[in-house]
Chains A and B, each alone.
Chain A
Amino acid sequence: MLRVSKLSIRSVIKRKQPVRGVSFSVQKGKAFTLVGETGSGKTLVAQAVCGNLSGELTADGKIEYKGVDLVRLSRREKRRLYGKELFLLPQEPDSALDPTMRVISQVAEVFRYVRGYAVKDLHHRLAPIFSDLDLSLSEAGRLYPCQLSGGMKQRILLAISLAVPAGFIVVDEPTKGLDKLSRTSAVHRLSNLLEKGKTLLCITHDLGVARELGGHMAVMYDGCIVESGSVNHVLNSPRHPYTRGLIGAAPENGMIPIDEEVLAAMKQPEKK
């Protein structure tokens, strides 16, 4: 469904290449998880796929979505895909919702203005989505974002991702800032998206998310993919020393720091 080939991202101002030669492909109806530490370039890859890199960054290479190269598309052409084909579940649920609107209106306006449903149909479109996400339409729906907890805001964003017709959803750090219980439920809901036939590109530093979503994954470090393959294969028999270090550094594995020598050996000279 999505094939990324030799994707490099260059910063015009800093004259750096924060992402270099990244290649992977995402199969329809499956999850692909990009893991790596903070600053490894995962979010930039997600932004390049969505076409919303900040002005000073430029992408080279190919991002083929259903045979169309997203890197070559104009802004207007990309905007035609948003919501209909592609959707980004943002990293910060706190700031991704309009603070001045009730959350029910924010989900309803996706049905109204993106899908074009009539006002009288909105209630019976919203009700199953809210009940799927354990949210009360008449109570939680009437609140403003500032009155919701982090987990509830995340669920509202998931409701929006269910409301849009897009089949390909880029999820950026879905478990950021959530406690263990909310995290488990957030990941469970992402699995539900897969069951509903959506394809996921998930960006996370949490290896557990990749394990629970299944499919394929890639490990990024310093702007490059160091190892990729099926989730089971990468997590159960990692070949690269950095992947082994990352797995060992997870809280459930004792948080053993990654060997400095491994990191030093992997640091690549920057291409100018």
Chain B
Amino acid sequence: MPQKLSDDQLEMANVKQYERLQRTIGLLLVSLIILFVVTGPWITPDPYQQNLSQVFAEPGTHYLLGADHLGRSVAARMAEGGRNTIYYSLLCVVGSVLAGVFLGLTAAWYGDLTDTLIMRLVDITMAFPGIILALLIAGVTGGGPMAVIIALMFTGWPEYCRITRAIAMSTISRPYVESGILAGFSSIFILRKYIFAEVLPQITVLATLGFGRTVLNISALGFLGIGLAPPEPEWGAMIAESLPYLRESPNLVLIPAATLSLTVFSFFLIANPLSRKPRK
């Protein structure tokens, strides 16, 4: 006779099913976006090719998503812009994670003055608004994608540093880590084998969420005119470029805005179930 599930078990099964659905939809959306961005150069025309006879062209066979105010293919510019945005976001997140995890582990392992110095640096950096800092760095360096990457990395690492330090400190005080230290394992071994193993799952979740946020930040900076210089396409910059033509062709604003929202949302869908997943 099949065993009857209790209410708690049923609720847990429902939650798991819901989270699996979230993760599947998230992965599917991200895969579609990446597929579009990667295959862009083969399925769309040149993103820089202007055709003034096709200004504001409706979506069709040649212009999949229509043409902008200079007669350039929106689909091609979306693919090229997406590639830029995703590439720079990846650089920012990887840089922030590496710096944050390294400094967080250093602070937790050495403690005392090293910890105090690193954590005060975290406080100072966290108190600084990211966008303002990016404007400042762009102003000093003359703009460009490097200014955006440096600014976002500079404001991104403290979050990873704090989480890493907190997890590392709680792990260091566990008896098996203390036993490992007393058994004579080197600091590098203890940090890699015991502490980093605890930090990694949490940082993966945080970095997945952070990736969506970084895409949004890069686009926000692109919208403000910092980052890639025209005619290089970028989702945020495409929204800004098309705003004056909102009445003539609302698609020009809606398409990059919707894709941007969808990208951030899909990363949230992937990260959310990960954050609840218990470690095996």
Chain A interface (Cβ within 8 Å of chain B)? 50, 52, 79, 82-84, 86-88, 90, 92, 95-100, 109-110, 113-114, 157, 160, 164, 166
* Nearest CB of B to A142, in Å: 17
Chain B interface (Cβ within 8 Å of chain A)? 174-176, 178-187, 189, 193-194, 197, 279
Can you show 24 pairs from A to B with CB atoms below 8 A apart? A82-B182, A82-B183, A82-B184, A83-B183, A86-B182, A87-B184, A88-B179, A90-B178, A90-B179, A90-B182, A95-B174, A95-B176, A96-B176, A98-B176, A98-B180, A98-B194, A109-B185, A110-B183, A113-B186, A113-B189, A157-B179, A160-B179, A164-B184, A166-B184
* Nearest CB of A to B80, in Å: 44
Q: A82, A97, A99, A113: which contacts B181 (Cβ < 8 A)?
A: A82
Chain A: which residue is nearest B179 at the CB level? Answer: A96
* Nearest CB of A to B21, in Å: 29
Q: Which residues does chain A contribute within 8 Å of B180, judged by CB atoms?
A: 98
Chain A: which residue is nearest B280 at the CB level? Answer: A100
* B176 with A50: CB separation less than 8 A: no
* A83 with B185: CB separation less than 8 A: yes
Tell me the complex Cα distance, A86–B184, Å.
9
Q: Which residues does chain B contribute within 8 Å of A83, judged by CB atoms?
A: 182-185
* B184 with A84: CB separation less than 8 A: yes
Chain A: which residue is nearest B177 at the CB level? Answer: A98
Tell me the complex Cα distance, A114–B178, Å.
15
Q: Which residues does chain A contribute within 8 Å of B184, judged by CB atoms?
A: 82-84, 87, 110, 114, 164, 166
* Nearest CB of B to A205, in Å: 20
* Nearest CB of B to A123, in Å: 20
* Nearest CB of A to B168, in Å: 15
* Nearest CB of B to A137, in Å: 20
* Nearest CB of A to B208, in Å: 22
* A96 with B175: CB separation less than 8 A: yes
* B176 with A52: CB separation less than 8 A: no
Chain B: which residue is nearest A83 at the CB level? Answer: B184
Chain A: which residue is nearest B111 at the CB level? Answer: A55
Contact A88 to B185, CB < 8 A, known contacts A96-B176, A98-B176, A98-B194: no
Q: Which residues does chain A contribute within 8 Å of B193, judged by CB atoms?
A: 109
* Nearest CB of B to A52, in Å: 6
Among all A-B residue pairs, the 7 with the closest Cβ atoms: A83-B184, A95-B175, A114-B184, A88-B182, A82-B184, A96-B179, A98-B176
Tell me the complex Cα distance, A95–B182, Å.
14
In addition to A83-B182, A84-B184, 13 A-B residue pairs with Cβ atoms within 8 Å of each other are: A82-B182, A82-B183, A82-B184, A88-B179, A90-B175, A90-B182, A95-B174, A97-B179, A98-B180, A100-B197, A109-B193, A110-B183, A110-B184
Tell me the complex Cα distance, A28–B141, Å.
67
